A and B are shown apart, each in its own frame.
Chain A
Amino acid sequence: MYRSARRGLALAASLTLLVAIAACSSDGDTPGTSAPVPGVTDTEIVVGTHQPLTGPASGGYSKISPATKAYFDYVNAAGGVNGRKITYKVMDDGYNPATTQTAVRQLVLQDKVFAILNGLGTPTHTGVLDFLKTNRVPDLFVASGSRSWDQPDKYPGTFGFQPDYTVEGKILANHVKANFAGQKTCFFGQNDDFGRDSLAGVTKILGADGVAAKQEYVVTNTNIGPQIGALKAAGCQVVILATVPGFTALSLGTAARLAFRPQWIVSSVGGDYTTLAKTLGDAGKPLLEGLTGANYLPAASDTGNPWIQLFQKINKEHNGDAPFDGNIIYGMSVGYLFVQALLAAGKDLTREGIIAAVEKGGFKGPGLAPFLFAKGDHSGYGGMRMMKVTAGVQSYFGPTFKTDEAEAPVTEYADPAVTPPTSGVPTA
């Protein structure tokens, strides 16, 4: 009988706790003040994101969301957008798709964000597409080049930001075709849509038999010796990398240990010099010499560029003067684009309104190539320019190329760059 009394008490206690959770949660929304549009009041817009602040992809990427936040702080200090200040909620998902599930649910269901902005990662973000669609949350400018973001019929609220990996693969392969003809070209990529989409672009240009050897890695296993060894054994002279920064560094380091020195051609997501140099350390830095890649945002080394000057100023004022690199440029460019989209959506901000505004497109910003945003196209930048590390400085060379994820050829894009407004805040 004691036993049943005890059990009853324990049960009652557990239930009390559950009810307490329920009570806590209902404190969150006070009726009456809640706005009709989630996350939007007359004075505030709340947006959220999931980022790898820790874990295998945190190297470099963890600097993106603070930079976006810094740009929003800068805009807020200048009065915000249509009188509304932007609040940016960042959730760490450790680049673990399972954690992203919880993080995004918390942002949407608990924190009631207006939109998810720049959620980072192909494997992580793919898992929350359906959830965001069901809840009609705008899913803007995903920080990944997977082609999954460009499915307007299936995911009407999701938009990409950077050139998709197939576009990038085509442009990288175009460079290989023009400069390394006749050399044995190989591919090393991440074992998910990132690697697959990139390889698809590469083979579109080089042909299926143009890639001599293909290897892949998983982010949870940092031993890539066998794969790099296989590339060496295959006699690769050029290796195209579809890798996150940590694995670019690992590839270069592992290859150096195996006395394997091919020409590296690396995707923009894993090719930022400052990030790689920091990961490799002083001893490993020389390995980066000659590293070739592509990008679509101004180079951190180009201090004469007005965008770089603007971002450096904001970095100093609002980001604690963090070491300035491509991740900071990326984060601030995302912030700039989001403010443009908010302005285009107008004063009566709604979730449908911002999606329509992005579909209308026409945004001009720091990017070298045009955005492809249109009613039937939800992919971001549509072009890239090649860049190379020479004497420890990563800078652009050659023309900007544009293409699409399908069969369009790789062509030059010659529109002149735009300069930022003097205030640093876009105007409608």
Chain B
Amino acid sequence: MTMPIRSTLLRHLLYTLAGAGVLLAVTSTLEPFRSFQLATVAAYFCATAGLTVLTGLNGQLSLGHGALMAVGAYTVAIAQNMLSDEGFSGGWLLPVSLLAAVLTTVIAGLVIGLAAARLRGPYLAGVTLAVAVTIPALTTAFDEVFNSDQGLSVYLDPPPASLGLTFPLERWQAWIALGTALIVALLLANLVHSRYGRTLRAVRDNEVAARLAGINVARTQVSAFVVSAACAGLGGGLLAVVTQSVSPGAYSLTLSLFLLMAVVVGGLGSLTGAVWGALLLVVLPDLTHTLTEGLSPSAAQRLEGNLSLAVFGLTLIVVMIAAPGGIQGLFRKLTGARS
């Protein structure tokens, strides 16, 4: 652990490059629908990674990350549609919109974080829960901007012509989402291993001790919320790009709860756990659909929509009993690595 920061950065950069290479190879063999799913995983990963930093490393609970994703998603939707309506197009459009999404959620995260830093336990959960309930409801209150439950469609430039005319849109979306997710992973991995990361953990483990060590607890908590919100906003923005639509139904309270469940099942406090969690969010509903497909329509009707909740709950219970450290914890145990 005495390695200088520069080499940590180098190591993480190498991982990221290797990851990018492998993902590039993988996506070129994937069918469009699998690319779409992979892109969704990448979008969810940004949110779960942010939540891991907040909950796993800083000990603050958030039940409102789904709503923060919605903030990012609507920002991207409105920015993309406004810019394209103004006649702008080109490769810079999307990065600008995604950056706008990050900025908006940073502001939202700052506001919520300021309130959250004063609250503990169930009170904090209550405030973030209110966020999760309120933000999607705003789409109805201001339906002229957000178009209520129907939502907005998101303009997206087609893949660059240099990739060929038959280049699947889904693969292009997967590249955008995976590329952004890798950058998020790189930045967060460095953050976690920095002095700031140790400060986060110190505040989580014992606030009084952290304060005695000269750490500004409140500022750390607010900044953790901001970082985490920015990640969630970026994830939401990516989801808007991938599905080319935003609607409040995609960012309901259930999503916020699922995100939390995903990071817990994946392995709280580890970025790899966040990958597992994001993967589960996409794979489990798909799996349950495959299960119900062979059934009679009436039986399928009863199970559809409900079964995935049950399976998710069951997974949570089983993982908590069998591997309290989540999938990533189990993985560590199996590979015999030191925890």
Q: Is A180 an interface residue (CB 8 A)?
A: no
- Distance A190 CA – B288 CA, assembled complex (angstroms): 31
Pick from B23, B140, B279, B306: contact of A218, CB below 8 A: B140
Q: Is A109 within 8 A of B170, CB to CB?
A: yes
Q: Is A402 an interface residue (CB 8 A)?
A: no
Q: Is A109 within 8 A of B151, CB to CB?
A: no
In B20-42, the 8 Å CB interface with A consists of 22-23, 26, 29-34, 36-38, 40
Distance from B213 Cβ to chain A, minimum over Cβ atoms (Å):
23
Pick from A22, A25, A101, A126: contact of B150, CB below 8 A: A126
Determine the chain B residues whose CB is within 8 A of the CB of A53 once the complex forms: 300-301, 304-305
Q: Is B143 within 8 A of A11, CB to CB?
A: no
Q: Is A419 an interface residue (CB 8 A)?
A: no
Determine the chain B residues whose CB is within 8 A of the CB of A91 once the complex forms: 289
Determine the chain B residues whose CB is within 8 A of the CB of A101 once the complex forms: 243-245
- Distance A110 CA – B244 CA, assembled complex (angstroms): 18
Q: Is B212 an interface residue (CB 8 A)?
A: no
Pick from A22, A69, A221: contact of B297, CB below 8 A: A69
Q: Is B337 an interface residue (CB 8 A)?
A: yes
Q: Is A62 an interface residue (CB 8 A)?
A: yes
In B134-172, the 8 Å CB interface with A consists of 140, 143, 147-151, 153, 169-170
Distance from B3 Cβ to chain A, minimum over Cβ atoms (Å):
9
Q: Is A353 an interface residue (CB 8 A)?
A: no
Determine the chain A residues whose CB is within 8 A of the CB of B106 once the complex forms: none
Nearest residue in B to A54 (C-beta to C-beta)? B305
Q: A22-B30, A97-B247 are in contact. Are A218 and B148 (CB under 8 A)?
A: yes
Q: Count residues of B near A (Cβ-Cβ below 8 Å).
A: 53
Q: Is B272 an interface residue (CB 8 A)?
A: yes
- Distance A264 CA – B306 CA, assembled complex (angstroms): 34
Q: Is A123 within 8 A of B31, CB to CB?
A: no
Determine the chain A residues whose CB is within 8 A of the CB of B244 once the complex forms: 101, 130-131
- Distance A101 CA – B247 CA, assembled complex (angstroms): 11
Q: Is A54 within 8 A of B306, CB to CB?
A: yes
Determine the chain B residues whose CB is within 8 A of the CB of A193 once the complex forms: 150
Q: Is B298 within 8 A of A66, CB to CB?
A: yes
- Distance A348 CA – B26 CA, assembled complex (angstroms): 37
Q: Is A13 an interface residue (CB 8 A)?
A: yes
Nearest residue in A to B282 (C-beta to C-beta)? A102
Determine the chain B residues whose CB is within 8 A of the CB of A222 once the complex forms: none
Nearest residue in A to B339 (C-beta to C-beta)? A6
- Distance A18 CA – B275 CA, assembled complex (angstroms): 11
Q: Is A97 within 8 A of B249, CB to CB?
A: yes
In B238-294, the 8 Å CB interface with A consists of 243-245, 247-251, 272, 275-276, 279, 289
Q: Is B247 within 8 A of A320, CB to CB?
A: no
- Distance A174 CA – B37 CA, assembled complex (angstroms): 49
Q: Is A82 an interface residue (CB 8 A)?
A: no
Q: Mark A1-41 against chain B: 1 for CB-CB distance below 8 A, else 0.
A: 01011111111011101110110011011000000000000
Determine the chain B residues whose CB is within 8 A of the CB of A126 once the complex forms: 150, 153
Q: Count residues of A near B (Cβ-Cβ below 8 Å).
A: 58
Q: Is A4 within 8 A of B11, CB to CB?
A: yes
Distance from A104 Cβ to chain B, minimum over Cβ atoms (Å):
10
Q: Is B297 within 8 A of A90, CB to CB?
A: yes
- Distance A219 CA – B136 CA, assembled complex (angstroms): 13
Q: Is A134 an interface residue (CB 8 A)?
A: yes
Interface-located stretch among B80-88, B90-98, B328-336? B328-336
Nearest residue in B to A55 (C-beta to C-beta)? B305
Determine the chain A residues whose CB is within 8 A of the CB of B34 once the complex forms: 21-22, 25
Q: Is B313 an interface residue (CB 8 A)?
A: no
Determine the chain A residues whose CB is within 8 A of the CB of B149 once the complex forms: 97, 123, 191-192, 218-220
Residues of B at the A interface (CB closer than 8 Å) are 11, 15, 18-19, 22-23, 26, 29-34, 36-38, 40, 140, 143, 147-151, 153, 169-170, 243-245, 247-251, 272, 275-276, 279, 289, 297-298, 300-301, 304-306, 328, 331-332, 335, 337-338
Residue pairs across A and B with Cβ atoms less than 8 A apart, 28 shown, are A2-B337, A6-B332, A6-B338, A7-B272, A9-B337, A10-B331, A11-B15, A14-B276, A18-B38, A19-B26, A22-B26, A25-B33, A29-B31, A53-B300, A54-B305, A62-B301, A94-B305, A96-B247, A97-B149, A97-B150, A97-B249, A97-B250, A106-B289, A109-B170, A123-B149, A191-B149, A220-B140, A320-B298
9 tightest Cβ-Cβ pairs between the two chains A and B: A98-B250, A54-B305, A109-B33, A123-B150, A96-B249, A92-B304, A110-B33, A6-B337, A97-B247
